[in-house]
Every structure is written in structure tokens, then in C-alpha cells.
Chains A and B, each alone.
Chain A
């Protein structure tokens, strides 16, 4: 896959710092470095190999541990909850939704921007909690924290 270097010294100098092929290198969950005008959150700035070292987990449940069951069901629930949150609080989500499970209790933590008046936030939280608890037959708690503007970690 890599291009072969010719034996002459001048040719070797030429190919030293050039990306040889398009799409080489990892692209998973990474925002590529750009002009420096795009603000990026801590979650987006760190790459997936930093999970467990500099980054935490977005979804915390015991089902992926050795000897525990129900991983697929939880994964499906998580996907639904993230899409639901994205749709209900449209345009307000500042960062990824964090989902925690303690026993039967489902806790959804989200950072929001103050785009809606507080009364609408109150209504939407109550709506989300009652609807999700009816779907999943377990108590659902929503923990929301709002910000004036996006929490930027660095500009890429």
C-alpha cells in the first residue's frame, strides 16, 4: 500500500513529508485540524484512544463487564435516548448526552445552551422524564445544566 522509495538520495528527500495516499491514518471520531476558526468541545477534541485515560465514558452501565448480560438492550436504549434528546431539545444541546444507570434508575445528564426560556425547559424535562419512564418502565431522571454559550476547549 505504501509507495516504494527510489534508491537515489534526492528522490528520498522529496517524498519525506508528503502524505502519500488519500484517507491514510485513522478517521474515527476525530475532527481534523483546520484554519483555527472552529470551536471544539473537550469531548470532540480528544481522540477515542484517550478514553479511559483523559476522557470518560458517555454511557455508564455494568452490562459490558465480564459476566454481565444485557449489553445489546442497553446499547439500543442509549441510541434511542440520544436521538430523543437531540430531537426534543433541538438546537439546545451543547455537548453529548451522558447516560448513567444505577440499579433500575436511568439518569440522563445533558449540557444545554440557553436558547429557550426556562418555562419551556421545565416543560420539556417533565415531558422527557414521563415519556421515557413509560417507555422503559423504570424511573428516569434528567439532570440539566445550562450555559450562556458553548464551552469551547480549543479551536481547530
Chain B
């Protein structure tokens, strides 16, 4: 039952413990319980409950899941990002196509300004091996591993928006796809370097430090 990876399967992983880390799918054994929204593998489920090792988790209803998620409000100012660049890598171009469609749609729904969505050129790793186990040096076999890329650029986000969007994107990452995120943050210039030193009047009447250089 090999799939060509068409489309994005999106099981959203939730844990029944409200105090757990934000990504329960990444926890060790016993951390995740899947709520299946869309299953592309099984046309007809022969076995409804296929997980037997996790007896301590009951089936959660949607209302329970919504009340269990934690929302914290703090007084510190949110980090501001000038640009968040998401690079997705995969072996299958069609998987990356559908993932790009999903990510751009999610960004539009959340009102995030999308910049450039482009495809960097693929990288191919080729290995040449001997075809035969003994002699026949002239006959070889070549294998290659192709890595396709897709890059999404998002501009002018707040830290919380970025966190929510990236978490949503990463939970729905298809299997066999890797992601690299680079963020460029905007920070306030520290006060002590706002004015150049030679324009500042010094506290005592000592000569300014650049007097010797000028003269």
C-alpha cells in the first residue's frame, strides 16, 4: 500500500493533559492521542480503535479540547518580526505543492502578509556504485536522492502570531518533509548608542576623547 504522498494528511494532535508542552506529538511515549480529521490511508476502517497501549487517554470531545488549551496573557511587549522565512524540504514535489497551498491559505485566513513564495532549485545527491559484486568495472549503477525546496516569506508579524502560525504549520507537516524557519526580529536601539559620542557634552569639563584624533 504505497502512497504517492498526494495531498496533506492533517491529524491534529492534542493531549488530554492541559499542562503539557505545546507539541504533544513530539513528547516521549504516552504523550499523544490523535483526533483524526482526514485519513487518506484507510478507505474502510476495519479496526476503529487501533491504539491499545494508551488506555489512560479517553476519547476527547471537541468542547473538552477547546477548554483544555491554555492561553496566557503577559505584560511584557511582544517580539516583533520583520521577516519569518519558512523553508520546506521534501523528496516529492507534489507534496510540497499541496503543503504550500495549505500554508498560504492558512496565512491568508490569519491575515498574515505573505511575501515571496518561491521554489529554490533542487539539490541532487548522486552515488555511483559498481553494478556487479565481482569485476565488471565498466558497468555501474547510479542512485540519486533529490531534495526539493519551497520557501514562504512572511512579513511584519508579532511574536504570538508567528508562534501560533508556525505551530499550526508544523503540526500539519506531512511525513518525509523537513522545515527550517529563520526569523528576523526587530528590536529597539539601546539608548546609549542613539546619539554619537562626539556630540554628547561630557559630564566634567575634561577634553572630549576625540580631541587628540582631530588635532
Contacts and interface: CB of A to CB of B under 8 A. Distances in A.
Interface of A: 1, 28, 42-43, 52, 55-58, 60-62, 64-68, 95-96, 98, 100-105, 107, 109-111, 118, 121-122, 125-126, 129-130, 133-134, 137-146
B31 A57 contact: no
Interface string B154-189: 000000000000000000011111101000000000
B53 interface: yes
B117 interface: no
Interface residues of B, number: 48
Contact of B2 (A98, A103, A105): A98
A100 B46 CA distance: 20
Interface string B68-85: 000000000000000000
Contact of A139 (B30, B46, B123, B178): B30
10 contacts: A60-B5, A62-B176, A65-B90, A66-B123, A111-B1, A118-B46, A129-B53, A141-B51, A143-B41, A144-B47
Nearest to B90: A65
Residue among A121, A140, A142, A143 with most chain B CB within 10 A: A143
Interface of B: 1-5, 13, 23, 25-32, 34, 39, 41-44, 46-47, 50-54, 89-92, 123, 125, 136, 138-139, 141, 145-147, 173-178, 180
Given A98-B3, A129-B52, 13 more contacts: A28-B141, A57-B2, A65-B91, A65-B147, A67-B180, A102-B173, A104-B27, A104-B28, A109-B1, A118-B47, A133-B29, A141-B50, A144-B50
B47 A125 contact: yes
B1 A141 contact: no
A62 B180 CA distance: 12
A62 B178 CA distance: 6
A67 B123 CA distance: 11
A42 B53 CA distance: 33
A68 B173 CA distance: 16
A143 B49 CA distance: 10
B18 to A, nearest CB: 19
